[in-house]
Amino acid sequence: MRAEPFRSIVVTPPADDPGEPRLIELIRAEIDASGPITFARFIERALYEPGLGYYATSAERMTRAGDFVTAPELHPIFGQTVARQIDEMRQRLGSPADFTVREYGAGRRTLGKALPAGMPYEPVEFDSARPRTSFPGVVLANEFLDALPVHRVVGRSAGLRELRVGWSDGRFVEVEADLSDDRLATWFESRHIRVADGNVADVNLQMLDWLQQVGHDLARGYALILDYGKPAELLYGPERPTSTLRAFRGQHVSSNVLGGVGHQDLTADVDLDALADGAVAAGFDVLGRVTQAQFLLNAGLDELYAAARAQADNDWDRALNLRAAVRRLLDSSGLGAYAVVILGKGVDAEPPLSGLVKRAV
Ligand SMILES: C[S@@+](CC[C@H](N)C(=O)[O-])C[C@H]1O[C@@H](n2cnc3c(N)ncnc32)[C@H](O)[C@@H]1O
């Protein structure tokens, strides 16, 4: 059986809440004015509409009290391990005075708090001003790419078609239409992938735009990307006839992506091959890709665990919490199976970074 990613352990029936009325009205007005909109546009408004979208109305979405728990929010040991890798990157770059860690999709900035004292940290959110260009350092992105709005296409014998969102009988509905962007066809053709008849696939064009932007802004350094995703053959192959776009709410997953507008997260698996191709096209070298469990162990999770365990010796709850968190971080059917991709720009690939070198466990 296919291992389900961490963020889809519990499957519940679709929510019957249609969503935030003012947001529904705005999206509906756009459809009335210009016809069915792409899924990417629908997701953009549902998640990021100023003052109304899912991420625009609460900073607590990725916590236990919210709708899903990300690794940084699970336990500080995750951030401490990531910080170790980042510190090594800084040293590899010769510790330049203007070294900066820029985190995209920083959320509650929890990873920033784990960085060594005094290390410059620049969180970027969807509503941040365009950050400065040309800096040496590290671009960090944890569960960021999966939150970018995706297009959805469907394979047909006459060629690819795009799924859009229309309005009918008082609700949002899926509508089939022409492709809205030439890059949707190129996404598959350039990699010799044929989306089988009736299969639905997600296309994250914004990921390509983002790679171009960071490739331009980062003068020299690394991109450390942690997310759930799969190689193309697993995402679009016969095992996966439907798209991975799904909704999260109250720690549950549902396939009702057109309901609960503004009240639920929408997310899709990252195409790891497209990520690598897009990175190379943006001037990066792909230095390596490992599972999150491998990365954390390679980067020194065990040592940090031993030290934290010793400190928690007389505190039963703290010790248990630490142990449970480490188990979850390494779980090969959950967070441990996430992908960690490290890109380099203007840096030596050898010797490999410690996060990429297998340690004995
Ligand atoms: C799943 S959350 C992850 C938050 C945090 N990295 C964590 O792991 O807890 C995705 C984050 O990406 C942010 N985001 C989405 N689109 C963005 C964009 N275009 N630029 C910057 N941040 C964005 C969202 O607002 C949200 O905070």
Residue range 267-271: average pLDDT? 98
> Each residue of 201-240: pLDDT tens digit?
999 999 999 999 999 999 999 999 999 999 999 999 777 7
pLDDT band at 133 (very low <50, low <70, confident <90, very high): confident
> Each residue of 85-121: pLDDT tens digit?
999 999 999 999 999 999 999 999 999 999 999 999 9
Q: Return the pLDDT at 15.
A: 53
Top pLDDT among 240 and 196 is at 196
Q: Return the pLDDT at 238.
A: 74
* Res 13 pLDDT > 80: no
* Res 7 pLDDT > 60: no
The Cα–Cα gap between 11 and 3 comes to: 14
Residue range 166-174: average pLDDT? 97
List beta partners, residue 258: none
Residue 255 CA to ligand 1 centre (angstroms)? 21
Backbone angles phi, psi at 283, to 5 degrees: 95, 10
**Residue 55 falls inside a structural domain:** no
Structural domain total, the chain: 2
DSSP state of 197: B
pLDDT band at 131 (very low <50, low <70, confident <90, very high): confident
Backbone angles phi, psi at 135, to 5 degrees: -130, 150
Residue 213 CA to ligand 1 centre (angstroms)? 16
**Residue 56 falls inside a structural domain:** no
Residue 246 and residue 282 in one domain: no
Residue 283 and residue 198 in one domain: no
Question: Domain containing 348 — which CATH number?
Answer: 3.40.50.12710
pLDDT band at 349 (very low <50, low <70, confident <90, very high): very high
Residue 215 and residue 94 in one domain: yes
Residue 159 and residue 308 in one domain: no
Mean pLDDT, the chain, whole residue set? 93
> Residue of the nearest CA to atom 11 in ligand 1?
105
Q: Is residue 19 within 8 Å of 262, Cβ to Cβ?
A: yes
**Residue 1 falls inside a structural domain:** no
Residue range 43-56: average pLDDT? 97
Pocket test for ligand 1, best of 43, 81, 125 (most atoms within 8 A of CB): 125
The Cα–Cα gap between 244 and 180 comes to: 20
Residue 213 and residue 104 in one domain: yes
| Host domain of residue 112 | 67-145+208-228+269-361
Q: Return the pLDDT at 82.
A: 98
DSSP readout, 267-313? E--EEHHHHHHHHHHTT-EEEEEEEHHHHHHHTTHHHHHHHHHHHTT
Residue 279 and residue 342 in one domain: yes
**Residue 261 falls inside a structural domain:** yes
**Residue 181 falls inside a structural domain:** yes
Residue 121 and residue 219 in one domain: yes
Residue 227 CA to ligand 1 centre (angstroms)? 12
Q: Could you identify the atom of ligand 1 that is nearest to the CA of residue 71?
A: 8
pLDDT band at 361 (very low <50, low <70, confident <90, very high): low
DSSP state of 193: -
Q: Which residue has the tokens 């999150």?
A: 292
**Ligand 1 cavity residues, CB under 6 Å:** 55, 62, 70, 72-73, 104-107, 124-126, 142-144, 147-148
Q: 265 in helix, strand or coil?
A: strand
Pocket test for ligand 1, best of 61, 110, 113, 144 (most atoms within 8 A of CB): 144
> Residue of the nearest CA to atom 4 in ligand 1?
107
Residue 355 and residue 289 in one domain: yes
* Res 52 pLDDT > 70: yes
Q: Return the pLDDT at 6.
A: 47
Residue 291 CA to ligand 1 centre (angstroms)? 21
Residue 218 and residue 348 in one domain: yes
* Res 5 pLDDT > 50: no
Residue range 326-334: average pLDDT? 97
Residue 313 and residue 253 in one domain: no
Q: Return the pLDDT at 242.
A: 87
Residue 198 and residue 274 in one domain: no
**Residue 52 falls inside a structural domain:** no
Top pLDDT among 237 and 13 is at 237
Q: Return the pLDDT at 337.
A: 97
Residue 291 and residue 240 in one domain: no
* Res 9 pLDDT > 60: no
pLDDT band at 152 (very low <50, low <70, confident <90, very high): very high
**Residue 3 falls inside a structural domain:** no
**Residue 238 falls inside a structural domain:** yes
